[in-house]
């Protein structure tokens, strides 16, 4: 299973022109696609969202705890397939964006935490979606304080070791 997956990812990377040393250079681990997805409803763009079945109760609990403190956490994105990540790259490449520039903002297919269904992109009403300015919101302040109580951690803090953009909106559940 894992060898088949590794080969599939390697093939996709070759096709997209992603350097073979990518994962090592960026200190990124292969992320496996979630096999027990559950639909969560719709996101703020009216798209269907799914997440890992094990994470759903934790998300619901954190969301309602935040609400209890007057903070509304909204889901922007959760599970994304390898195929979806690949299509994202192709769309940008077709628009003339270089692979090096795409890799500054997007994890390569196979290395996005969203494959696991355990990473959530969050926002709050009145905040600009997936923008660094989310760090100035009360929702972010709440997450900094309480997300850990629900086993969510911010994967890509400022100056992270993966050379990925600072993503104050991206929180991953670590099942204990
Ligand atoms: Zn994310």
Cα(122)–Cα(168) distance, integer angstroms: 9
Please tell me the total count of domains within the chain.
1
Task: Tell me the pLDDT tens digit for each residue of 78-109.
Answer: 999 999 999 999 999 999 999 999 999 999 99
**pTM to 2 decimal places:** 0.94
How many whole angstroms from 22 Cα to the centroid of ligand 1?
Answer: 19
How many whole angstroms from 2 Cα to the centroid of ligand 1?
Answer: 23
The answer to whether the CB of 64 falls within 8 A of the CB of 152 is no
pLDDT-based confidence at residue 43 (cuts at 50, 70, 90) = confident
How many whole angstroms from 155 Cα to the centroid of ligand 1?
Answer: 9
Mean pLDDT over all residues of the chain?
95
Which CATH number is 130's domain given?
3.30.1380.10
Task: Tell me the pLDDT tens digit for each residue of 139-157.
Answer: 999 999 999 999 999 999 9
Percentage of the chain modeled with pLDDT above 70: 99
How many whole angstroms from 169 Cα to the centroid of ligand 1?
Answer: 7
The reported pLDDT for the residue numbered 176 is 55
How many whole angstroms from 8 Cα to the centroid of ligand 1?
Answer: 22
pLDDT-based confidence at residue 113 (cuts at 50, 70, 90) = very high
The answer to whether the CB of 176 falls within 8 A of the CB of 155 is no
The reported pLDDT for the residue numbered 95 is 98
The reported pLDDT for the residue numbered 175 is 76
Percentage of the chain modeled with pLDDT above 90: 91
Q: Are strands 74-77 and 119-123 parallel, antiparallel or unpaired?
A: antiparallel
The reported pLDDT for the residue numbered 44 is 83
How many whole angstroms from 84 Cα to the centroid of ligand 1?
Answer: 13
The answer to whether the CB of 167 falls within 8 A of the CB of 129 is no
Choose between 175 and 34: higher pLDDT.
34
Q: Supply the range of the domain harboring residue 146.
A: 2-173
Task: Tell me the pLDDT tens digit for each residue of 17-31.
Answer: 999 999 999 999 999
């Amino acid at each position: 299973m894992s060898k088949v997956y590794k080969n599939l990812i390697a093939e996709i990377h070759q096709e997209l022109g992603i350097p073979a040393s990518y994962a090592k250079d960026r200190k990124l681990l292969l992320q496996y696609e979630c096999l027990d997805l559950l639909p969560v409803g719709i996101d703020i763009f009216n798209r269907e969202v799914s997440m890992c079945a094990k994470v759903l109760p934790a998300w619901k609990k954190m969301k309602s705890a935040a609400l209890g403190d007057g903070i509304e956490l909204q889901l922007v994105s959760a599970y994304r397939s390898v195929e979806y990540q690949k299509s994202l790259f192709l769309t940008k490449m077709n628009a003339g964006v270089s692979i090096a520039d795409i890799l500054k903002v997007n994890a390569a297919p196979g290395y996005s935490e969203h494959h696991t269904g355990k990473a959530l992109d969050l926002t709050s009403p009145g905040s600009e979606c997936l923008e660094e300015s989310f760090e100035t919101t009360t929702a972010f302040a709440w997450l900094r304080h309480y997300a850990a109580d629900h086993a969510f951690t911010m994967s890509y803090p400022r100056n992270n070791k993966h050379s990925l953009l600072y993503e104050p909106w991206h929180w991953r559940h670590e099942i204990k």
